[in-house]
Structure 1
Amino acid sequence: MKKLGLATALLLAMTGAQAYQFEVQGQSEFYDNTENNGGNFTGGVQGTYYLKNVDTSKGPLAEAAFLNQASNVSVGYNFAEYKSKLTGEDIQSHNYGVKAEGYVPTKYVPVYASASYSHTNNDSKNNFARDDSGDRYALEVGAVLAPNFLLAAGYTNVPNQLSLDTFGIMKNGLVAAGIESAQAIQDKSDAVTARAKYVGPITGTNMAVGFEAAGTFGEENVYGLKTDLYLNPKLSVGATFLGSDASVGVDQAWGADVNYFITPAVAVGVNYLHANTNNVAYDTDTYGINAKYRF
């Protein structure tokens, strides 16, 4: 009977499950700076536990947790290999973190809050660079002001600028996380963040749209917009834009992605991003793959 129950649970997860409480996702990126690097890659994994079952029948499968206002706890880890053709640097970067998100119903609107901690350890494999490590902390508070519309503001403390946001890497990729740290925060240890997110149906169809705008304001300002078109609950295509006020470094980046749920429990995706630079010669292209499993 135990074996039959396990087999049934696995079959439901793989084919038609309408709720889940755990999600495991992984991703990998290959990134190339034409003037500077070669053979660089990243890999990451994140596990999320939701305090209650997440209903997947409310809209796009990719946004089930957001549509359910699902409180959760996550842990994540990222690895990056950086080799420079010009300087000879060979650095392995390890980044890990923990994050909690919560939605609290009130008499007026649901209140949102999140807190996260990330740590980065950079391990130099030769004498061209030194080992380094750093922490970062982030808080965010907001409210769901209208159905599926979140507005939030936050504070980030980064005592060491080499420390990246673990969950920013998993969500937007290494380049986007690096732009935030190197361009917006730079030599400051404190930064303010702002974010707005909306997901809604297209009337008369089974399609939906999603928008997320975000900004980090520190030494300089970095801002971005992510848009998604959900052709059906399983399949989406998206576009990304990032901009920076910095006079040196990345001034703009744009990209595209495609994500598909093979079943309600299993998803795969691909993404591409190009970052254009000012006054330095390291325009960057990244090519990524990702996968999710829910149960």
Structure 2
Amino acid sequence: MKKTLLALGLAVITSSTFAYDGQIDAGYTYTNWDDDFTDSDHAFDVKGTLYFDSVQTGKGPLNEAAFLGHNSNVYASYGYNIVKSNEYAALLDNTILGTAKDEDQYHTLNVGVEYFVEQFYLNGSIGYQKWEGESEFKAPGISLRADDDADRTTYKALVGYLPVSNLLLAAGIDGYTGDGDDEDNRFAVKAKYVAPLNNGQYINLEADGAFGDVDAVTIGADYYFDQAFSVGAAYNIVDDGDEDTDYFAIRSKYFLNPNLAIGGQVGFGDDVQAFNINATLRF
């Protein structure tokens, strides 16, 4: 009996197929701005996903299992970003009145659903963003604080089609509305393709775009050496009508086992560098 149980246990451990019903992703990003204003920029994010049906990992990349299996899900995420400034001169009519420092905090909540119906794809989400700012002014004999805040509601809806099982093409809207005239309703597109190569290797190609008052496009690619390990790159460009900024990143992810992965990313842009570490837990 004990030998039978041991054999079954070994069979489960060595099996190439695993299943999971949920996933938690968390990460931390430090951004270094090449300016004399920003002192520090730290961001934390966490996302939870629950699948309607168990995800089977099969023989494809572990990181792409849910997409390859067309697994519908619901998800929720929270992001926190805190940015502090260096002390700077407070001016009035080119006269230095004293010094000031700023601290900005950003909170972002988002919930959504991703649904596959045969060859059709639906994705909808709604979010809330809140900015809280605090300024401190100092002059001889004077110390003042001022607070300000603003919020924004975001929304996104995509409808897509999978002409072949590993290729997704989708389009819809990606917008936001907030205090005052802070609003934009943009046309959005999304594409993703996971293709097998030789000897158990895969490639992932993806692109996202939103076009309105502010245009944003991101393209990326990942090369999977095997089920567990990938190296990729991404390029992002944002155009607000006055100027455009771009950002290039190199990323990697490694599954220590089918339920636990660690990853990282290094990015470079216009007067900015960023470093990210992240982890994935499946259950």
Q: Normalised by the size of structure 2, how large is the TM-score?
A: 0.82
Distance in 2 (alpha carbons) for counterparts of 1:201 and 1:17 = 18
Distance in 2 (alpha carbons) for counterparts of 1:190 and 1:161 = 15
Higher strand share: 2
For residues 216-272 of structure 1, what are the alpha-carbon distances to aligned partners after superposition, in whole Å with 9 as ceiling and x for unaligned? 100142222110000111000010111234464542211101100000000000101
Distance in 2 (alpha carbons) for counterparts of 1:241 and 1:161 = 30
Letter of the structure 1 residue corresponding to residue 196 of structure 2: P
Between the aligned residues of both structures, percent identity stands at 27
Residue 280 of structure 2 corresponds to which residue in structure 1?
292
Q: Secondary structure at the match of 2:38?
A: coil
Distance in 2 (alpha carbons) for counterparts of 1:286 and 1:128 = 30
Q: Is the 8 A contact 1:17 1:265 kept in 2?
A: no
Residue 112 of structure 2 corresponds to which residue in structure 1?
99
Residue 225 of structure 1 corresponds to which residue in structure 2?
219
Distance in 1 (alpha carbons) for counterparts of 2:218 and 2:107 = 25
Task: Assess, with a 3 A threshold, how the Cα gap between structure 1 residues 291 and 205 changes in structure 2: closer, same or farther.
Answer: same
Q: Which runs of 5+ in 1 are unaligned?
A: 1-7, 163-185, 277-282
For residues 87-117 of structure 1, what are the alpha-carbon distances to aligned partners after superposition, in whole Å with 9 as ceiling and x for unaligned? 6220111111111000001xxxx10001101
More moved, 75-84 vs 219-228: 219-228
Residue 97 of structure 2 corresponds to which residue in structure 1?
none
Distance in 1 (alpha carbons) for counterparts of 2:109 and 2:82 = 15
1:238 pairs with 232, 250, 261, which one? Answer: 232
Distance in 2 (alpha carbons) for counterparts of 1:151 and 1:116 = 18
Distance in 2 (alpha carbons) for counterparts of 1:247 and 1:159 = 19
More moved, 152-161 vs 73-82: 152-161
Distance in 1 (alpha carbons) for counterparts of 2:146 and 2:249 = 32
Aligned length in residues: 252
Task: Assess, with a 3 A threshold, how the Cα gap between structure 1 residues 252 and 267 changes in structure 2: closer, same or farther.
Answer: same
For residues 37-77 of structure 1, what are the alpha-carbon distances to aligned partners after superposition, in whole Å with 9 as ceiling and x for unaligned? 12210111111000000011140000111001110001111
1:160 pairs with 174, 178, 181, which one? Answer: 178
Distance in 1 (alpha carbons) for counterparts of 2:253 and 2:81 = 23
1:128 Cα deviation after fit: 5.9
Task: Report whether the alignment pairs 1:64 with 2:95.
Answer: no
Distance in 2 (alpha carbons) for counterparts of 1:219 and 1:17 = 46
Q: Is the 8 A contact 2:151 2:179 kept in 1?
A: no
Q: Normalised by the size of structure 1, how large is the TM-score?
A: 0.79
Q: Is the 8 A contact 1:250 1:275 kept in 2?
A: no
Residue 136 of structure 1 corresponds to which residue in structure 2?
154
1:122 pairs with 125, 128, 131, which one? Answer: 131
Higher helix share: 1
Q: What is the RMSD of the two structures over their aligned residues, measured on CA atoms? A: 2.5
Residue 186 of structure 2 corresponds to which residue in structure 1?
191
Task: Assess, with a 3 A threshold, how the Cα gap between structure 1 residues 289 and 56 changes in structure 2: closer, same or farther.
Answer: same
Letter of the structure 1 residue corresponding to residue 64 of structure 2: E
Task: Assess, with a 3 A threshold, how the Cα gap between structure 1 residues 245 and 46 changes in structure 2: closer, same or farther.
Answer: closer
Distance in 1 (alpha carbons) for counterparts of 2:16 and 2:225 = 19
1:187 Cα deviation after fit: 5.4
Task: Assess, with a 3 A threshold, how the Cα gap between structure 1 residues 244 and 128 changes in structure 2: closer, same or farther.
Answer: same
Q: Is the 8 A contact 1:71 1:101 kept in 2?
A: yes
Q: Is the 8 A contact 2:160 2:170 kept in 1?
A: yes
Q: Is the 8 A contact 2:50 2:74 kept in 1?
A: yes
For residues 108-139 of structure 1, what are the alpha-carbon distances to aligned partners after superposition, in whole Å with 9 as ceiling and x for unaligned? xx100011011111122334662111111111
Letter of the structure 2 residue corresponding to residue 232 of structure 1: D
Letter of the structure 2 residue corresponding to residue 24 of structure 1: I
Structure label with greater radius of gyration: 2
